[in-house]
Amino acid sequence: MSGIEQARKTAESLAYATGFGNEHSSEAVSGALPVGRNSPQRAPLGLYAEQLSGSAFTEPRARNRRSWLYRIRPSAAHPPFTRTDNGALRGAPFTESVPDPNRLRWNPLPAPAPGTDFLAGLWTLGGNGDAARRTGMAVHLYHANSPMTDRVFSDSDGELLIVPEHGGLLFVTEFGLLAARPGEVALIPRGVRFRVELLDETARGYVCENYGRPFVLPDLGPIGANGLANARDFLCPVAAYEDVERPTEVVNKFCGNLWTATYDHSPLDVVAWHGNHLPYVYDLRRFNVIGTISYDHPDPSIFTVLTSPSDTPGLAGVDFVVFAPRWLVGENTFRPPYFHRNVMSEYMGLIEGAYDAKAEGFVPGGGSLHNMMSAHGPDRETFDRASAAELRPRRIDDGLAFMFETRWPVTATAQAATAGHLQTGYDEVWQGLERHFRPTPGAAPIEGP
Ligand SMILES: O=C(O)Cc1cc(O)ccc1O
Ligand SMILES: [Fe+2]
| Chain segment 344-358, per-residue pLDDT in tens | 999 999 999 999 888
Of 406, 93, 98, 75, give the one whose Cα is nearest residue 255: 93
pLDDT digits (tens, 9 = 90+) for 292-341: 999 999 999 999 999 999 999 999 999 999 999 999 999 999 999 999 99
Position 154 pLDDT exceeds 90 = yes
φ, ψ of residue 61 to 5 degrees: the values are -50, -40
How many other CB atoms are there within 10 angstroms of residue 111's CB atom? 12
Q: Tell me which residues are annotated as active site.
A: 297
The answer to whether residue 146 is domain-embedded is: yes
User: Which ligand is in closest contact with the Cα of 379?
Assistant: 1
Give yes or no: residues 110 and 258 share one domain.
yes
Give yes or no: residues 373 and 320 share one domain.
yes
Across 60-70, b (16+ Cβ under 10 Å) vs e yields eeeeebbbbbb
pLDDT of residue 356: 86
pLDDT of residue 171: 98
Q: What is the rounded average pLDDT of the residues 8-21? A: 96
Question: Which of 284, 311, 330 corresponds to the end of one domain?
Answer: 284
Give yes or no: residues 236 and 341 share one domain.
no
Class of residue 384 by CB neighbours under 10 A (exposed 0-12, middle 13-18, buried 19+)? middle
The answer to whether residue 72 is domain-embedded is: no
Domain CATH number, residue 176: 2.60.120.10
The answer to whether residue 46 is domain-embedded is: no
Question: Which of 255, 284, 313 corresponds to the end of one domain?
Answer: 284
Give yes or no: residues 362 and 399 share one domain.
yes
Give yes or no: residues 221 and 295 share one domain.
no
Number of domains in the chain: 2
pLDDT of residue 412: 98
User: Distance between CA 408 and CA 404 in Å, rounded?
Assistant: 11
User: Taking the C-alpha atoms of 153, 155, 156 and 158 in order, what is their torsion angle to the nearest 10 degrees?
Assistant: -170
pLDDT of residue 120: 98
The answer to whether residue 207 is domain-embedded is: yes
Say how many Å lie between the CA of residue 358 and the centre of ligand 1: 11
User: Distance between CA 215 and CA 210 in Å, rounded?
Assistant: 8
Of 136, 134, 139, give the one whose Cα is nearest residue 90: 139
pLDDT of residue 334: 97
Q: What average pLDDT is seen over the chain?
A: 97
User: Which ligand is in closest contact with the Cα of 302?
Assistant: 1
Task: State the Rg of the chain over Cα.
Answer: 23
Kindly give, in sequence order, each residue whose CB lies less than 8 Å from that of residue 58, ignoring residues fewer than 6 positions away: none
- 140 marked among binding-site residues: no
Q: Ligand 1 in contact with 367 (CB < 6 A)?
A: no
Give yes or no: residues 251 and 342 share one domain.
no
pLDDT of residue 328: 97
The answer to whether residue 20 is domain-embedded is: no
Contact 247, 261 (CB under 8 A): no
The answer to whether residue 35 is domain-embedded is: no
The answer to whether residue 438 is domain-embedded is: no
Give yes or no: residues 415 and 303 share one domain.
yes
pLDDT digits (tens, 9 = 90+) for 228-274: 999 999 999 999 999 999 999 999 999 999 999 999 999 999 999 99
pTM reported for the whole predicted model? 0.97
Question: Which of 260, 284, 308 corresponds to the end of one domain?
Answer: 284
Give yes or no: residues 235 and 302 share one domain.
no
pLDDT of residue 186: 98
Percent of the chain with pLDDT over 70: 100
User: Taking the C-alpha atoms of 207, 343, 353 and 364 in order, what is their torsion angle to the nearest 10 degrees?
Assistant: -40
ipTM given for this complex: 0.98
Give yes or no: residues 241 and 299 share one domain.
no
Strand-pairing partners, residue 258, are: 253
User: Distance between CA 312 and CA 304 in Å, rounded?
Assistant: 17
pLDDT of residue 423: 97
Ligand 2 ion local residues (Cβ < 5 A): 346
Could you tell me whether strands 203-210 and 137-144 are parallel, antiparallel, or unpaired per DSSP bridges?
antiparallel
Position 419 pLDDT exceeds 90 = yes
pLDDT of residue 448: 81
Pocket test for ligand 1, best of 340, 341, 342, 343 (most atoms within 8 A of CB): 340
Give yes or no: residues 104 and 152 share one domain.
yes
Give yes or no: residues 253 and 315 share one domain.
no
Position 449 pLDDT exceeds 90 = no
Domain holding 237, by residue range, is 3-14+79-268+278-284
The answer to whether residue 58 is domain-embedded is: no
Q: What is the rounded average pLDDT of the residues 119-130? A: 98
Q: Ligand 1 in contact with 403 (CB < 6 A)?
A: yes
pLDDT digits (tens, 9 = 90+) for 201-236: 999 999 999 999 999 999 999 999 999 999 999 999
pLDDT of residue 136: 98
φ, ψ of residue 53 to 5 degrees: the values are -95, 135
Give yes or no: residues 248 and 340 share one domain.
no
Kindly give, in sequence order, each residue whose CB lies less than 8 Å from that of residue 437, ignoring residues fewer than 6 positions away: none
DSSP letter for 115, please. T
